[in-house]
Structure 1
Amino acid sequence: MSEAEQEIEKLLGLHPKGFDLSLDRITRLLDVLGNPHTKLPPIVHVAGTNGKGSVTAFCSALLEAGGLSVHVHTSPHLVNWHERYRMGVKGGRGQLVDDAVFADALRRVADANAGQKITVFEILTAVTFILFSEHPADAAILEVGLGGRFDATNVISNPAVSVIMPISLDHQPYLGDRVELIAAEKAGIMKPGLPVVIGHQEYDAALDVLTATAERLRCPTAVYGQDYSAHEEYGRLIYQDEFGLADLPLPRLPGRHQHANAAAAIRALKAAGFIVTEAMMEKAMLSVDWPGRLQRLSEGKLMAHAPAGAEIWVDGGHNPGAGEVIAEAMAGFEERQSRPLFLIIGMINTKDPVGYFKAFAGLAEKVFCVPIRHSDAMIDPVILANAAYDAGLVAEPMSTVGEALDAIRQALSTDATAPRILIGGSLYLVGDVLSDNGTPPK
């Protein structure tokens, strides 16, 4: 266990791990620390149910393609806590925070909090502001943890741009059980008179809330499909906005949904005042990286369990909206090469498993349901298999991912077409898989 991980273990023993949506505690703590959140480079603040991590990755790749240094805060992590803090490097790709620097910031924040009631996420967010304020960079990208209005990152008062990505049902106990209620929470990151970019919205009710809020706050606003767009044409990505058109390579991140994510990132950086050239866009489409989201495993320890020639993909998407875009991506792969699709899924009990699984009905041959290690909130594999059955899928509980891969291998005849296997349903499961496979994010 690293020095920083030891400090976090101490904090987890003292403070609750979950969310307690309020800005009072983080505001008090930051005041003691000298308000480091007011001393950051230009900020891109990103919220949304799905796609916020991808648009964060695109924004980072675009700015780095222009030679700028970019701090990036994301959550949760997959394998190591350090993944939440990528520190900007001038002229190169950002690097995960140094362990000693991370540990020092954790201790300073914990000392400043002086044992008062707070969540670990709030402490980690204060650490973000300490790290990003004390190490110069050209830009900072902050991904919202949960919701928006009362998320700990929303102490930011003057973002260069606020970005709202696709909104669907998730975290209903915290955010509400209708998309318009969730949209209202996400819209809470908008600031009066400052630019807003709205990503592709499947639900008109969500879009109506977002545009009405932006209009009320008199925010300069760009909406996907109205003010900017992207589509595939002859194997290229065509991006268009009021400033012109760009003919680009398809994004390195697979799935048609990434076209809209790339477009939102381009438009957001323009709204924030950054110069975004076509050369930067081209380079970013080919260099963008976002581990654990439609990531293909090509090497590692788990490959030995899989059938020969199998494709193995991991994706941490876990709500119905994510299920739809992942299923669409899997179906798109089928067009290029027909393979039977198997799912290995683990989920936690705050999610909607039936809603997630419905997207794969008629597409997946079988679902193997597995536990998530070290999670009291995991759905029992037997119960999860019943949810898959209710969604119209054939399902079976398994003890481990390795056991599920073995079962797929044993079920296929030697002359069968090598399968496509999706492991997902939870970022926690994907983190376990990447760790076991020996391929953690770097």
Structure 2
Amino acid sequence: MNDLALTNARIVLDDSVMHGTLIARNGLIRRVEEGSTQAPGAIDCDGDYLVPGLVELHTDNLEKHLMPRAGVIWPSIPAVLTHDAQVVAAGITTVFDALSVGDLEEESVRIETLRSTYDAILQGQGSGALRADHWIHLRCELAYPRLMTALEPLMDHASVRLLSLMDHTPGQRQYRDLAQYRKYYSKHHMSWTEDEFAEVVKRRTEQQAKYSAAHEQAVLSLSRGRNVVLASHDDTDVRQVEHAHRIGVTISEFPTTHEAADAAHARGLRTVMGAPNVVRGGSHSGNVAALELARTDRLDMLSSDYVPASLLHGAFLLHTQAGWSMPRAMATVSRNPARALGFEDRGQLQPGMRADVVRVRAMGDLPIVRNVWVNGQRSF
């Protein structure tokens, strides 16, 4: 590998922003030092920021490429390659592709494309075709009747490093407001009469009672002895957070209320909120605002969720709107998720770390990605 020298940059370190130079060799950062260099081949960054490559632990972005239009299923490998290009262009150098194992709707692109997408990600990894470093996040829909049949064949690959425990049964968690549940699925061209909707809720609730608890125990049993991290999803109250903590969950994904966020913080769970929530100034479904949690020190990480470009933008808004220092804000999308997922080799711009580096120009509080290096190689 060629040496990489980036100079005349504002380098975001763990606790400060330094005007200086970053030198990498063979995919690792070798030196970070104050001042500029005239070394041959050094790239003049014109005062732009250098930040650690972003670490994304939960993105559904791939689903949009698998079904670019209602009823249209796109081939998995081209979809993965397009998704990969998009996340790198957003400054994401480590990405956990979130694959839903099961769905409560009978006809679902998630069910139809699960195995082919999983295989396409691994094929992209093995062939060297992917620009970002891809890992797999399996989202376990506990009330899905065939969850374990679908999950077990996926668990043995080393790329599976994160499991989240989900329950999208209407009447609780994300859909504690049944009107929100109905509104969400109306976007997917589902419409029900009052009687039909009541029957759907009844059927989903019965399904939850039959499967969720048993499946949770089966998933926990399957995860033991494997190098996987457990996350809860859409916790709403103290009871749900306490249960998650008791069964070994260490990440609280998208708590929906102040109460749940408070409980997660008190029990030492790392809290992740959606960066789109930050960019939009609030939740699209009426849940707690991420900026409110940031201003009261109950936010640890951001996830781009369904908009890759929101991850870096959200971090910058934590700096300009929540009053966080730039190092603290950038840690929510780099060092903090890296450590939460067990990575010690990335997420910081310091000697010995992977040379995952993003050059960013600020236009007000809007960050513009100029260049991205993954493991020292120019990828954007």
TM bin, normalised by shorter chain, reads 0.3 to 0.5
- Specify which structure has the higher proportion of strand: 2
Give the TM-score taking structure 1 as reference length.
0.29
Q: Which has the higher contact order (CA 8 A, sep 6+)?
A: 2
Q: What TM-score does the superposition give when structure 2 sets the normalisation length? A: 0.32
